[in-house]
């Protein structure tokens, strides 16, 4: 769901800033080209800037966090949802605790307007076939290039811990 939340933010916040600064924004997600097209349509991004990576090869080549967790020894699945996830979701505009039917707040769970909108448009587009579960557990990130030189890198450390637009744009226009 956090990828869909980010997609909404990319459309609303990131794409206009990139266009204003004459910066090319490209979005690569794990899945087929058809999944990428469907994602773009659902969140309102131009389909020509959204690409699918069916084998998660670019994520592996860029050494984004993968599901084998070999780099820090944690058990499978332990990195997906961490305290950093709750903090990140809570820190975004309109961040608030998740309520149980308005009776009480659920400890450690937070939501925001973009995440609520993402829940409404979400469609499962996960990879299929061999290693599909492992591909689904891959975290992403943001890279900024000036020509072939990488000038900024952010690795998502858990679900929903996305790069800060202000930092990305500062690196891109520097």
Helix (H) or strand (E) run with residue 53 in it: strand 50-53
Q: How many CB atoms lie within 10 A of CB 168?
A: 21
Q: Over the chain (174 residues), what is each successive 10-residue block's mean pLDDT?
A: 88 94 94 95 96 89 66 56 79 77 76 85 85 78 94 88 92 90
Per-domain boundaries in the chain: 2-76+113-164
The SS3 assignment for 100 reads strand
Q: In the prediction, which pLDDT does 17 show?
A: 94
Select from 119, 118, 137 the least CA-distant residue to 127: 137
The answer to whether residues 45 and 10 touch, using CB atoms and an 8 Å cutoff, is yes
């Amino acid at each position: 769901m956090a990828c869909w939340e980010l997609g909404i933010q990319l459309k609303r916040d990131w794409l206009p800033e990139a266009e204003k600064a004459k910066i090319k924004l490209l979005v690569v997600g794990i899945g087929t080209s058809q999944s990428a097209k469907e994602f773009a349509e659902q969140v309102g991004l131009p389909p020509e800037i959204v690409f699918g990576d069916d084998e998660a090869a670019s994520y592996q080549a860029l050494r984004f966090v993968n599901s084998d967790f070999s780099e820090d020894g944690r058990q499978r699945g332990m990195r997906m949802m961490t305290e950093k996830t709750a903090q990140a979701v809570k820190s975004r505009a309109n961040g608030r605790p998740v309520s149980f039917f308005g009776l009480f707040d659920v400890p450690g769970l937070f939501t925001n307007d973009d995440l609520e909108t993402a829940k409404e448009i979400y469609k499962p587009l996960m990879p299929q076939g061999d290693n599909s579960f492992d591909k689904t557990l891959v975290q992403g990130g943001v890279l900024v290039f000036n020509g072939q030189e990488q000038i900024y890198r952010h690795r998502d450390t858990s679900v929903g811990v996305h790069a800060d637009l202000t930092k990305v744009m500062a690196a891109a226009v520097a």
